[in-house]
Amino acid sequence: MKWAGAAAAVGVAGASAYGGLFEAWDYELTETVVPVRDLPERFEGFRIAQVSDVHHGRLVPIEEVRRVVELANAARADMIALTGDYTTQFRRYVEPCAEALAELKAPEGVWAVLGNHDHNTDGELTKRALVRRGISVLTNENTLLRRGADSLQLAGADDWGWGYADFKRALGGVDLARPTLLLSHEPIAFDMEETRGVSLILSGHTHGGQVCLPVVGSPVKYIWGKYLRHLSGMYEQDGARLYVSRGTGMIGVPLRIGARPEVAVLRLQRA
């Protein structure tokens, strides 16, 4: 029994060292094709780089946020979507993080929504810091991306966990019969009646579980249940799609296991 216990301890220690020293900082640039019904011709092949959950703070130094920015810029996407949780808790990290994110570049702009940790830190301070650096923050509102005579509807919802999300207002005036993109930090947006018919929802929040173990999967699914049933990747229902990014940062423990950090690229394609 002593030897078995020792072996288990060594295994846990080894996995933790791997997760903290390697996988936590092994960023992956993924690309996913998203079929969109009635996608306008000029938006065929439109590429969106999604950056989520950078969580600059004690566990994630600013140098790592800069690495994420470099990776996103290297994707040469048409638009960049930021889906929340730029810091974790302390206000002193907001300005440096916004300064690093200001280096993100895309011809159709950098668009953002806030996450639960942004409000935990200071939502208004975070929004002002991003906007001051040219990043457009959508707070329960929408706009149009235009390419010639063609347009793509873009909406953003505030954080659901803090009770600030107003999906009806975010999609006010939007014609859901036309292609629509919604940014929402928490993937529970996919379950809301108001979002039925949205072509693509981009979310983060879950970190892909952050720690995903063989056989049992991610322990957080057993803790948060239905609120994290959409953990990572693409989901589809009734023609609508949700993409949940694994994000790039960490909370709680300084490691990732089985949930490699990602910058996701979504390429729109006519269905």
Task: Please check the confidence at residue 20 and state whether its pLDDT lies above 60.
Answer: no
pLDDT at 10: 32
Query: Could you give the CA distance from residue 219 to residue 18 in angstroms, rounded to a whole number?
Result: 18
CA distance 123 to 116: 9
Predicted pLDDT of residue 216: 64
271 within 8 A of 37, measured Cβ to Cβ: yes
Other C-beta atoms within 10 Å of 235: how many? 17
Where does the pLDDT of residue 11 fall: very low under 50, low under 70, confident under 90, or very high at 90 and above? very low
Model confidence at 1, pLDDT cuts 50, 70, 90, reads: very low
Strand residue runs (E) in the chain: 28-36, 47-51, 79-83, 110-113, 136-137, 141-147, 150-157, 180-184, 200-203, 233-237, 240-244, 262-270
* 66/51 Cα distance (integer angstroms): 12
Q: What is the CATH number of the domain that holds 99?
A: 3.60.21.10
Each residue of 118-164: pLDDT tens digit? 999 999 999 999 999 999 999 999 999 999 999 999 999 999 999 99
> Residue 5: pLDDT above 50?
no
Each residue of 173-217: pLDDT tens digit?
A: 999 999 999 999 999 999 999 999 999 999 999 999 999 877 666
**Whose structure tokens read 């990043």?**
135
Q: What does the alpha-carbon distance between residue 35 and residue 198 come to, in Å, rounded to a whole number?
A: 13
Q: Confirm if 217 and 234 have CB atoms less than 8 A apart.
A: no
Tell me the pTM. 0.90
* Beta-carbon-side half-sphere exposure of residue 210 (alpha carbons within 13 Å): 21
Buried b (16+ CB within 10 A) or exposed e, 191-210: ebebbeebbbbbbbbbbbbb
92-118 pLDDT, tens digit per residue, is: 999 999 999 999 999 999 999 999 999
Q: What is the pLDDT of residues 209-259, one digit of tens each?
A: 999 877 666 666 656 566 678 999 999 998 899 999 999 999 999 999 999
pLDDT band at residue 80, thresholds of 50, 70 and 90?
A: very high
Q: What is the dihedral of CA 199, 187, 127, 95, to 10 degrees?
A: -120
Poorest-pLDDT segment among 18-22, 38-42, 159-163: 18-22
Which SS3 state, helix, strand or coil, does residue 75 take? coil
C-beta of residue 150 within 8 angstroms of C-beta of residue 40: yes
Percent of the chain whose pLDDT exceeds 90:
84
CA neighbor of 179 nearest in space, from 196, 195, 200, 162? 200
Range of the domain at 223: 2-270
| Count of CA atoms in the C-beta half-sphere (13 A) of 170 | 27
pLDDT over 60 at 18, yes or no: no
Q: Please tell me the total count of domains within the chain.
A: 1
